[in-house]
Amino acid sequence: MSRYSLWIPVTLLMWLSAGSLQAQESAEKKRPNILFIFTDDHAVNAISASRSRLAGVAPTPNIDRLAHEGAYFVNSFCANSICGPSRATVLTGKHSHLNGFMRNTAKGFDQSQWTVAKALQASGYNTAVIGKWHLNSTPVGFDHWEILPGQGNYYNPVFLQQDGSQRQFNGYCTDLVTDKAIAWLQSRNGNEPFFLMCQHKAPHRTFSPALRHLGSFHEAEIPEPDTLFDDYLNRSSTLAGNEMEIDRHFDWAYDVKLRKDERGDVVLPAPDRYGTPEYSRMTPEQKREWDAYFGPHNREFLARFASGAMTHEELVRWKYRRYMQNYLSTVKAVDESVGRLLQYLDDNDLTDNTVVIYSSDQGFYLGEHGWYDKRWMFEESFRMPFLIRWPGVVKAGRRPEELIQNIDYAPTFLQLAGLDVPSEVQGRSILPILQDRLVEWRDSLYYAYYELGEHAVPQHFGVRTADHKLIHFPVSGEWNLFDLQRDPQELRSVHDDPDYQKVLASMTAEYHRLRSHYAAPPLPPKNN
Ligand code: SGN
Ligand code: CA
């Protein structure tokens, strides 16, 4: 496909009528803007348009607007469900082992390699990234950037500036990232199309809401997942060794907004002792607002807790509820950000020629399997939100079922810009799906997780089709097979079930085929 080939008919027509360079330039101008809104750890279950158990409580009217006016991909997945690696895959269209950023602790993103940002910039797009970057480097391929160092902070965060300096800003991170994104849109050269990556820290741990949203979900009904008390039986033995349970691993300060004292008793935090660095970052006035909400509720909880009247199950349920209240409040500001950006497009006559995408670096457990965090190939963290709106091109309200993955984002952006997709890119543009031009699509996805121990999740690798999932745990030598239609919650591996031997054979063959197709590296050795 040639450069700008999407626009060839328009270009040709204009050349025929005007035959001038000017005409070609104006055809090029029609290349759409790309607004990529990317959050951190936003589970699809916390988007109302997902129709999940939380649909009635997820505060996402603006994200849902993208689903109503565009498409919501119901089978969108990650290649490696962890932050930096997901971002590296988005930029390169490649699985982690090829872009080199296999773990969050990777030394630094190899900036000499091809990226979609570089390609769009070279083709004339105005490019910018604002907010979370998390690739242990500074951005290349962007005319403008302003990023959070590492994980960044929620309250009064510091941003790294393009001149190498660091500046602290007063306010709430999600609002500040949005302000900066809009300021850049206002300041840029309006003649060129733009590619803006607006990347929030939220709703990442420590799930810290904007102060104006504290208490938003206090009275809300928040359905529990069926698997809040998962026993981890009938699956890999490695599940039981996890360190990401609401029950056993929630940090009393970070996650619960309480504190354990030196004797191990749960107590009210002394001033400045919420444990979370977020609290100590606040101004006295901000702390007063925080305390005004958490203070009375913490005292009420502690009175009940200390009386010994709470069962263990009740305590887990209480923690789940507090987790969800904070997480959903944090999502509320993300959704407001999306609303502000969409409003900016509306107000500036940019809506029709801007492709808006909403996604998050991976999914997240909202109590499913008793967990918070991500990493596993189980559905809730393997899934990534993917919503796309392009008026006049993407039919409103579509819910495509094709299996897509974050390797597909870069080639999609390229095709939107009418650029060729380099052969080294492993993903495919999803544009044909949106334009009903599709002849065939993939039937399976490859997954690889390489981290070395955080939250005690072992390295694992697998394949997913529409109906089944095979996960390989080389360190324990185990294999799990799931029937996603009959067991969507993935509670029982049917790997050893005689009725599934045919499925097992074909899934195993597909796993090896994908590993070879994507040139995957050798697996880690078994632990003895
Ligand atoms: C921090 C969190 C972890 C989280 C990682 C990775 N701990 O270390 O719970 O899994 O980030 O997240 S915290 O105590 O600092 O909140 S990622 O999104 O960057 O991959
Ligand atoms: Ca993340």
Based on the domain organization, do 171 and 248 belong to the same domain? no
CA distance 170 to 156: 4
Q: Are 505 and 481 in contact (CB under 8 A)?
A: no
Q: Measured from the CA of 84, which atom of ligand 1 is nearest?
A: 20
Based on the domain organization, do 81 and 182 belong to the same domain? yes
pTM listed for this prediction: 0.93
pLDDT at 275: 54
Pocket test for ligand 1, best of 109, 204, 251 (most atoms within 8 A of CB): 204
**3 state DSSP class of 259:** strand
Based on the domain organization, do 473 and 428 belong to the same domain? no
CA distance 276 to 495: 42
CA distance 134 to 148: 8
CA distance 235 to 231: 10
Based on the domain organization, do 134 and 74 belong to the same domain? yes
Any bridge partners for residue 72, and if so which? Answer: 387
* Ligand 1 atom 17: residue of nearest CA: 83
Residue 410: φ, ψ to 5°: -60, -50
DSSP sequence for 405-455: EGGGHHHHHHHHTTPPPPTT--S--SHHHHTT--S---S-EEEEE---SGG
What does the CA dihedral 116, 122, 127, 129 come to, rounded to 10 degrees?
50
Which residues have a Cβ under 8 Å from the Cβ of 13 and sit 6 or more positions away?
none
| 462 in a structural domain | yes
* Ligand 1 atom 1: residue of nearest CA: 205
| 190 in a structural domain | yes
In this structure, which amino acid lies at residue 312?
H
Query: How many domains is the chain partitioned into structurally?
Result: 3
**3 state DSSP class of 3:** coil
Q: Which two tokens stand for residue 431?
A: 């544009």
pLDDT at 306: 85
Q: What is the CATH number of the domain that holds 66?
A: 3.40.720.10
| 365 in a structural domain | yes
Give per-residue burial for 501-525: e unless 16+ CB within 10 Å, then b: eebbeebbebbeebbeebebeeeee
| 366 in a structural domain | yes
pLDDT at 280: 84
| 87 in a structural domain | yes
Which helix (H) or strand (E) segment holds residue 356: the answer is strand 354-360
Based on the domain organization, do 359 and 398 belong to the same domain? yes
pLDDT at 190: 77
The total of other beta-carbon atoms located within 10 Å of residue 48's CB is: 18
What sign results for the dihedral spanned by CA atoms 197, 203, 207, 209?
Answer: positive
The total of other beta-carbon atoms located within 10 Å of residue 419's CB is: 23
pLDDT at 177: 99
Q: Which structural domain, as residue segments, surrounds residue 246?
A: 218-224+235-320
Based on the domain organization, do 182 and 242 belong to the same domain? no
CA distance 53 to 74: 15
Q: Which two tokens stand for residue 517?
A: 């197709």
Based on the domain organization, do 190 and 56 belong to the same domain? yes
pLDDT at 270: 56
Which residues have a Cβ under 8 Å from the Cβ of 512 and sit 6 or more positions away?
none
Which residues have a Cβ under 8 Å from the Cβ of 75 and sit 6 or more positions away?
400, 401, 402, 403, 404, 466
Crossing angle, helix 312-347 and helix 173-187, to 10 degrees? 10
Any bridge partners for residue 167, and if so which? Answer: 159
In this structure, which amino acid lies at residue 425?
V
Pocket test for ligand 1, best of 151, 206, 326 (most atoms within 8 A of CB): 151
Q: Where are the alpha helices (DSSP H) in 150-228?
A: 173-187
Q: Are 447 and 79 in contact (CB under 8 A)?
A: yes
Which residues have a Cβ under 8 Å from the Cβ of 58 and sit 6 or more positions away?
45, 46, 47, 48, 50, 52, 328, 331
The bound ligand whose nearest atom lies closest to the alpha carbon of 84 is 1
Q: Which of 320, 352, 381 is the last residue of a domain?
A: 320
In this structure, which amino acid lies at residue 395?
K
Any bridge partners for residue 159, and if so which? Answer: 167
CA distance 313 to 403: 37
| 60 in a structural domain | yes
* Residues flanking ligand 1, CB < 6 Å: 40-41, 82-83, 104, 134, 151, 204-206, 254, 373, 454-455
Based on the domain organization, do 304 and 341 belong to the same domain? no
CA distance 308 to 202: 35
Based on the domain organization, do 187 and 294 belong to the same domain? no
Q: Which two tokens stand for residue 397?
A: 């309200």
**Residue 146: exposure state from Cβ atoms within 10 A (0-12, 13-18, ≥19):** buried
Q: What is the CATH number of the domain that holds 473?
A: 3.30.1120.10
Q: What is the Cβ-side half-sphere exposure of residue 407, based on CA atoms within 13 angstroms?
A: 22
Based on the domain organization, do 403 and 483 belong to the same domain? no
The total of other beta-carbon atoms located within 10 Å of residue 65's CB is: 19
Å from CA of 381 to ligand 1 middle: 14
* Ligand 1 atom 13: residue of nearest CA: 205
Based on the domain organization, do 276 and 351 belong to the same domain? no
Q: Are 258 and 266 in contact (CB under 8 A)?
A: yes
Pocket test for ligand 1, best of 86, 374, 454 (most atoms within 8 A of CB): 454
Q: Are 362 and 451 in contact (CB under 8 A)?
A: no
Q: Of 44, 368, 363, 323, which Cα lies nearest the Cα of 225?
A: 368
Q: Of 273, 249, 243, which Cα lies nearest the Cα of 259?
A: 273
| 255 in a structural domain | yes
Q: Which of 439, 461, 476 is the last residue of a domain?
A: 439
| Chain position carrying tokens 């500001």 | 333
| Chain position carrying tokens 């969507």 | 488
Q: Sort strands 126-132 and 194-199 into parallel, antiparallel or unpaired.
A: parallel
How far is the CA of 58 from the CAs of 66, 98, 106, 422, in angstroms?
15, 36, 34, 39
**Residue 441: exposure state from Cβ atoms within 10 A (0-12, 13-18, ≥19):** middle
Query: pLDDT tens per residue, the chain (528 residues)?
Result: 334 444 444 433 443 343 344 444 444 448 999 999 999 999 999 999 999 999 999 999 999 999 999 999 999 999 999 999 999 999 999 999 999 999 999 999 999 999 999 999 999 999 999 999 999 999 999 999 999 999 999 999 999 999 999 999 999 999 999 999 999 999 997 789 999 999 999 999 999 999 999 999 999 999 999 999 999 999 999 999 999 999 999 988 889 888 666 666 776 665 545 556 688 899 999 999 998 999 889 889 988 988 989 999 999 999 999 999 999 999 999 999 999 999 999 999 999 999 999 999 999 999 999 999 999 999 999 999 999 999 999 999 999 999 999 999 999 999 999 999 999 999 999 999 999 887 799 999 999 999 999 999 999 999 999 999 999 999 999 999 999 999 999 999 999 999 999 999 999 999 999 999 999 999 999 986
What does the CA dihedral 144, 150, 154, 155 come to, rounded to 10 degrees?
-80
Å from CA of 104 to ligand 1 middle: 9
Q: Which of 291, 320, 349 is the last residue of a domain?
A: 320
Based on the domain organization, do 471 and 490 belong to the same domain? yes
| 177 in a structural domain | yes
pLDDT at 445: 98
The bound ligand whose nearest atom lies closest to the alpha carbon of 78 is 2
